[in-house]
Structure 1
């Protein structure tokens, strides 16, 4: 049964703010996009790493790192990458990075998940990737929403050719460092402490925000999260406790946003 879980978010409404500090109840599990199985972590890393396709506000799939695609046979898909996309480290995205990311997500500890139906990925030229599925798989585009692309050269140079293994508690360089193509880059990361991101000035797309810096704080105690918001120590929090909604709504500096989550229970 599909249920709409209510998400309550409270935030300060300053439109000109160039920085944002926000809180939630848990820490980011890892910075490795190929080992996380936690929705919250994946959502945060979605600002740092990007897939070939993405979902827009109307829940429609649209081009991201791939600017176009075709399906020449029932089991073959061909993706043309967007030229000139740069990773945060300055390297240019290529088809080899996509193929490497597929190999990496299939390594021990990797979250292959939705890509289980993919038989192979091949780079047919520097900007073209061909994906072969085990059988006709019409929902491949949906599966690719959960396939972030990493920089092959960066991963190899730092001993992170395989995904970190959270089950075996084996980390690598990508567990605490990041190099994606997304609208934000990681500035610093502290376990159970602040994670700081800065806007990526070289992002290939047009930003739809006015932020140059974002700080995430894990605050496990609900009352402490609310107190931090009301005191101005944080600008926003997610999953505001129901008992605090009226008190937060009464503060003219803050606004409460409520909406359904995309979740199947």
Structure 2
């Protein structure tokens, strides 16, 4: 008689993970003491309505619109330059972070990338404002520091996951390691890296607008100033400029990503 095969062992890891996740969600709701009911009371809606009514109509004076346009360009420049510096730094860190020079440098660089991206842009800006003073320079460097950690990790993962056969073929045919990397591995990962870069640029537009709240220049600094003086009409114009800038950059980034994937 042939023996029936033993049934496969039950895998409990998925169920344990789901139970732990459910417990975490329940604990979060229990400890945060969310008061969702108070959000929809008549008094809360009346207060929110009065606040929103103060934003209308937005300020349209030519002098203020010119000042808002200058701040918009400053925010755009902060995000673009910060992203560009982050790409350069992230790529330099990604090469050893992908294990190109051994396990010890890989672990060290991965730890550095974890530190860079775990510190939010607002914290980086607060630190750099002490060293560099108020203005867009601190905001630009804050964006570059945080984004370099994010892009460095993504670039390193892309390099590690690239098929090794093309580079090995070039190495076997006498190419130097650097030449094989630049002619085989890097071209394979370049479209993915460009996609990551464009996505992070979109995020940095929003972050640059927020960084101005701590004094890093741009639209955020204007928004904080006018809100602190309860100049709601001028604040509304700044908010509309933020929305327009984000929409334009999102559309441009989407078009560039589609062009790269064709």
The two structures share one fold, judged by TM-score above 0.5 = no
Higher relative contact order (CA 8 A, sep 6+): 1
Structure of greater Rg: 2
Would you tell me which structure has more helix in proportion to its own residues? 2
TM-score relative to the length of structure 1:
0.21
TM-score relative to the length of structure 2:
0.21
